[in-house]
Structure 1
Amino acid sequence: MLPEVLRAGRADLYSVFRTCCAVGRDGALAVEDGETRRSYGELLDRVDRLASVLLSRGVAPGDRIAILSHNRVEYLELELAAAGIGAIVACLNWRLAAPELKHCIELVEPVLAVVEPELRDAFRVASDLPGLEIGPEWEQSLASANPDPRTGTLVDDPEAGLTILYTSGTTGLPKGALISHRAHIARAMAFAAQLALDPDDGFIAWAPMFHMASTDHALATLLRGGTVVMVDGLQPSVMNEALSRHRIGWFVMMPGALEAFIAERRANPLPLKGIKVCGAMADLVPPHQIAELTSLLGAPYLNSFGATETGLPPGTADLIAPGVAPETLSKRISAFCEVRLVDPEDRDVPIGSPGEMALRGPTLFSGYWNADDTNVRDFRNGFFHMGDLFRRNRDGTIDFVDRVKYLIKTGGENVYPAEIERVLLAHPGVVDAAVVRAFDAKWGESPVAFVACGNDGPGAEELIQLCREKLAGYKRPREFQFIAFEDFPRSTSGKIQRHILESRLTN
């Protein structure tokens, strides 16, 4: 459906979606959410009515609308309605602790909040922003609204923002990555081209919609004409049953999820409609799990490397064949971006030498919200610098080496050590702390904290309770190792050498 819209000179996501509805898909199933089913025609009607509701509440192009909700059809309705009026949806992470959630809300200064009833209290602890509650209020508002003729006419720039997805920064506080209409459309095209997806291939959105995997690909699926199956989190039996009824293009599987789904698949091997590709982030998954999952699904595993900021590129072009436990995980660079591997002075590194990945291309985000200094640094010399180290091989493939800022990826979520350290160091009895990553068979990686305390310092239970109050569950250290202050290994500048601490975990 994308080419028809682009040939017509429109490059906004709402126009692409509307065209998809108009070219023979009106009665086709667009979204399935439990017992709720919406055809493309029904979804478009609700999206247009919601756009009218938002306009009547004073939402203007460029305004931010915050949403705090689990996965449900209303999430997609809001994103599509926002696309039609030029608003930007800030996708809040419901797993965050109240101080973190408050920061994310205040960062983007939304004019309206959409909140799920179950999360109403959590939201009110963080903000008193006026809102529209999903449920009876939502349905009554749509029922009494008529489509507004301004919908679809308020976005004339493909660089206009559409979503803000949050990603942790080196300061520890989440950053808001602004993703434009252009980037979302380009990501849809990259998905379709590099994963060889057919127009009506479906997608199971089980990862949280505040995660790029679900928001990116759910929208991309609706721009092609496929069915999005909304699932609220990892529910292996629900997902397995959905695979028996829908042909799926990309079946997302993340570290920490494979074991549970494999167990379900072994116990209940329902016939499959067909899967083109499964998996993601192969570097963080045990090879034996890759082999078993692909055997059970009869589909190759995506040896990918991407980010909230980049979408599925830069590494989307390599597949691991079904039943294979990979010995190497070299990746092919996406055809939809240009990649450099550079040293700290931004000079290209030679083949075989580690370099920070820097890239540019149409799937790239527009920058971090209200973070000018960070954007100047990260977008220097016309390329976005990802902060990840790779080596280029002679055949043109690339190998992941390490994360420049010691990013921890746990179960598909990004965690920065500084975020946890800030909480620990706020305790009066802690004199120093460093958080490093450790291999975790279930989650891929998990944080471990090294802590030095004073004479009356806290014990592990007290620090666990502190982290429980201040941090989302997936960010909490899986263990605490107490050491003397002088036992922290340091560089000549006094910085803690984290790689030495990590080596101690394996000794």
Structure 2
Amino acid sequence: MIPNWLRQRAHLTPNRVALYDDTQVISFAELHERTVKRARQFVYLGVKKGDVVAVLMKNSVHMVEVIHALHYIGAIVLLQNVRLSVEEVKWQLEHSGARFVICDELFQDERAIQWNEFAQIGERDGEWQTMYNLDDVATIMYTSGTTGKPKGVMQTYGNHWWSAIGSVLNLGLRENDCWLAAVPFFHVSGLSILMRSVIYGIGVYIVPSFDAERINELIFQGKISMMSAVSTMVQQMVRELNKPYPPTFRCMLVGGGPVPQPLLQSCVRWNIPVYQTYGMTETASQVATLSPDARHKHGSAGKPLFHMHIRIEKEGKQLNANEAGEIVVKGPSVMKGYWQNEQETNAVLKDGWLYTGDIGYMDEEGFLYVLDRRSDLIISGGENVYPAEIEAVLLQHEAVKEAGVIGVPDERWGQVPFAFVVLGDQMTTEEQLRQFCMNKLAKYKVPKRIRFVNHLPRNAANKLMRHELKKWIEEA
């Protein structure tokens, strides 16, 4: 058990700033008061400990209040990606058994309550969690599944606690630290910033959406000292620069894939302290992080955080240095499992070790190198996209007989989906198929190109050979 983080923080450092945005500054004491009000409103709705309540919102002070309020009650927060299609969101609501979904905008569902409506709801006294049981599920985040169906990652209070502790032991802590939240709170990289804030007692500067010029401005004004980003965000920020970053900015934590060498060189020139990191939703953020003083280890994700263990396995055997195999991790920030999915949980969790499905190796000094972020995974602008999910949607179209999807390089997004389609008896066009996908998938998952082919390359077991599809593009 551990004290309720925000409640304890408001008691210890009530006047320290918890949240900033472009219009307001809120102390931890004020955030606690606001959170209690929201918790009372949830009690009025009938929300109780153990209930699942979905949050479908963009980054805002209101969203922070909602997350903490649900934890005061002991409800489980389901963080939902605002970029998903209505169909995708509703599937998650059904699978999770969510009682309500709090949203910024109108959402056609009987469980939906728009923020403006929720803010007017009555209040009722409740019993708040003054202590958090570290083994209790705090949040659920759905990740795209390799079979096309998303899996709900159960993150406990203990997962978030140890993730925050591991990070601070690695990055250090200063009294005037302020972490910019430009990545969404519905991703673990964004949510972990909120967890660190109340545990460390540091401020979070919230921006509703990524704006490279505005963020650079905040850095030069000395308002933020740290931020989380993906490579595409850093690239856009570098393009806007005409002078080096000030020493008040001390950490650019970059995940979602390795940072390209030319970008790293630019960051050195502009005094941007890049910390490359490897982590996932299933580990409540970072597993390993590479500090700027280890530039000679380019391409590495660094060494494991203090609380984590990493090993490389192949066919059940632990490999030696520089031998490539599956990355397997263990530690107190590893998820409890997948929500209502024992089969998938048992497939990846064995004796406390998480089998990530990612391929990599460790060198003689213990630095991790990630070769493939899961063999089929496409990382587009920091978002994980599974080809199987897109293929499942394409196959729903009456004209499509077969579908194969791979990721192709893209200057802006890193990678984008590219689809190969075999048609049946009916005809359709690339644009019609893209529109069909647009109605069922988040925009970043919709194939940027669809090529019609006579057949797809398959092996003797009829399994799609994606590496052959990549060759088709290279040969075209």
TM-score (norm 2): 0.93
> Any gaps of 5 or more consecutive residues in structure 1?
1-9
Aligned identity (percent) is: 27
What is the one-letter code of the residue matched to 2:2?
Answer: A
Structure 2 counterpart of 1:335, from 289, 303, 306: 306
Q: 1:320 to 1:176 in 2, by over 3 A?
A: same
Q: Distance in 2 between matches of 1:108 and 1:473?
A: 23
- Tell me the SS of whatever aligns to 1:385: strand
Does the aligned pair in 1 maintain the 2:402–2:423 contact within 8 Å? Answer: yes
Does the aligned pair in 2 maintain the 1:450–1:481 contact within 8 Å? Answer: yes
- Tell me the SS of whatever aligns to 1:363: coil
Q: Give the length in aligned residue pairs.
A: 475
Q: After superposing the two structures, state which structure 1 stretch, 277-286 or 69-78, moved more.
A: 277-286
How far 1:499 moved relative to its partner? 1.3
Residue 21 of structure 1 corresponds to which residue in structure 2?
A: 10
| Matched ranges for 1:200-211 at <5 A | 200-211=176-187
Residue 365 of structure 1 corresponds to which residue in structure 2?
A: 335
Structure 2 counterpart of 1:493, from 448, 455, 461: 461
Residue 115 of structure 2 corresponds to which residue in structure 1?
A: 134
Structure 2 counterpart of 1:463, from 409, 420, 433: 433
Structure 2 counterpart of 1:319, from 283, 291, 296: 291
How far 1:293 moved relative to its partner? 3.3
Q: 1:282 to 1:77 in 2, by over 3 A?
A: closer
- Tell me the SS of whatever aligns to 2:210: coil
| Matched ranges for 1:438-449 at <5 A | 438-449=408-419
Q: Distance in 1 between matches of 2:132 and 2:246?
A: 42
Q: 1:459 to 1:138 in 2, by over 3 A?
A: closer
How far 1:249 moved relative to its partner? 4.4
Q: 1:505 to 1:333 in 2, by over 3 A?
A: farther
How far 1:280 moved relative to its partner? 1.2
Residue 6 of structure 1 corresponds to which residue in structure 2?
A: none
Structure 1 counterpart of 2:44, from 34, 47, 56: 56
Cα deviations across residues 441-461 of structure 1 (Å, max 9, x unaligned)?
Answer: 221221111122235432211
Does the aligned pair in 2 maintain the 1:82–1:162 contact within 8 Å? Answer: no
Residue 420 of structure 1 corresponds to which residue in structure 2?
A: 390
Does the aligned pair in 1 maintain the 2:300–2:367 contact within 8 Å? Answer: no
How far 1:195 moved relative to its partner? 1.3
How far 1:35 moved relative to its partner? 0.6
How far 1:194 moved relative to its partner? 0.9
How far 1:258 moved relative to its partner? 2.5
Structure 2 counterpart of 1:290, from 264, 289, 308: 264
What is the one-letter code of the residue matched to 2:276?
Answer: N
Q: Distance in 1 between matches of 2:120 and 2:110?
A: 22
1:181 maps to 2:157: yes
Q: 1:94 to 1:54 in 2, by over 3 A?
A: same
Structure 2 counterpart of 1:98, from 86, 104, 121: 86
Residue 100 of structure 2 corresponds to which residue in structure 1?
A: 112
What is the one-letter code of the residue matched to 1:364?
Answer: V
Q: Distance in 1 between matches of 2:142 and 2:38?
A: 24
> Any gaps of 5 or more consecutive residues in structure 2?
none
- Tell me the SS of whatever aligns to 2:304: coil
- Tell me the SS of whatever aligns to 1:341: strand
Does the aligned pair in 2 maintain the 1:240–1:270 contact within 8 Å? Answer: no
How far 1:396 moved relative to its partner? 1.8
Cα deviations across residues 315-357 of structure 1 (Å, max 9, x unaligned)?
Answer: 12x12359x797543532222112222224x321333322211
Residue 11 of structure 1 corresponds to which residue in structure 2?
A: 2
Q: 1:156 to 1:277 in 2, by over 3 A?
A: closer
Residue 26 of structure 2 corresponds to which residue in structure 1?
A: 38
CA RMSD between the two structures? 2.3
Q: 1:463 to 1:149 in 2, by over 3 A?
A: closer
Structure 2 counterpart of 1:277, from 251, 259, 262: 251
| Matched ranges for 1:378-393 at <5 A | 378-393=348-363
Larger proportion of strand? 2
Does the aligned pair in 1 maintain the 2:288–2:301 contact within 8 Å? Answer: no
Does the aligned pair in 2 maintain the 1:11–1:181 contact within 8 Å? Answer: no
Does the aligned pair in 1 maintain the 2:5–2:198 contact within 8 Å? Answer: no
Residue 4 of structure 1 corresponds to which residue in structure 2?
A: none
Q: 1:109 to 1:448 in 2, by over 3 A?
A: same
How far 1:394 moved relative to its partner? 2.1
Does the aligned pair in 1 maintain the 2:73–2:126 contact within 8 Å? Answer: no
Q: 1:138 to 1:368 in 2, by over 3 A?
A: same
How far 1:360 moved relative to its partner? 1.5
Residue 5 of structure 1 corresponds to which residue in structure 2?
A: none
Q: Distance in 2 between matches of 1:368 and 1:30?
A: 31
Q: After superposing the two structures, state which structure 1 stretch, 329-338 or 34-43, moved more.
A: 329-338
Q: Distance in 2 between matches of 1:436 and 1:306?
A: 22
What is the one-letter code of the residue matched to 1:50?
Answer: R
Residue 221 of structure 1 corresponds to which residue in structure 2?
A: 197
